[in-house]
């Protein structure tokens, strides 16, 4: 079943987009954000944060996996973000 929400669609321009799904007060989320900010900043890739406590769909889908990183709307990783792996995903 295809997910039709705008969050999960690749941007038509072909531009990469990283989405960090997190919640307030989560130390793993804070760690993940540091990695996402660094890699995206180095590569000039836009990223966005989504708060799982403000979106029921994200909560239902990812609650047990946060933080979750999406690359172009597809799940890339969860819990711990590996800088080298994220960098590779964004440059291939």
CB 26 within 8 A of CB 80: no
Rounded Cα–Cα distance for residues 13 and 36 (Å): 21
Q: Looking at residue 14, what is its pLDDT? A: 62
Question: What pTM was estimated for this model as a whole?
Answer: 0.83
Provide the residue ranges of all domains of the chain, joining segments of one domain with +: 16-91
Rounded Cα–Cα distance for residues 59 and 39 (Å): 25
Average pLDDT over residues 46-73: 96
Q: Which CATH superfamily is domain 16-91 in?
A: Glutaredoxin (3.40.30.10)
Rounded Cα–Cα distance for residues 34 and 10 (Å): 24
Q: What is residue 7's DSSP assignment?
A: G
Q: Looking at residue 85, what is its pLDDT? A: 97
Kind of pairing, strands 68-71 and 74-78?
antiparallel
Q: Looking at residue 79, what is its pLDDT? A: 96
Q: Tens of pLDDT along 4-58?
A: 344 444 444 468 999 999 999 999 999 999 999 999 999 999 999 999 999 999 9
Q: Looking at residue 78, what is its pLDDT? A: 96
């Amino acid at each position: 079943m295809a997910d039709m929400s705008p969050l999960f669609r690749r941007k038509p321009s072909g531009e990469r987009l990283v989405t960090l799904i997190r919640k307030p007060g989560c130390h793993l989320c804070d760690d993940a954000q540091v990695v996402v900010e660094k890699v995206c900043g180095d590569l000039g890739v836009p990223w966005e944060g989504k708060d799982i406590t403000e979106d029921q769909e994200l909560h239902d889908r990812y609650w047990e996996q946060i933080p979750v990183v999406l690359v172009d709307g597809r799940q890339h990783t969860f819990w711990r973000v590996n800088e080298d792996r994220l960098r590779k995903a964004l440059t291939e």
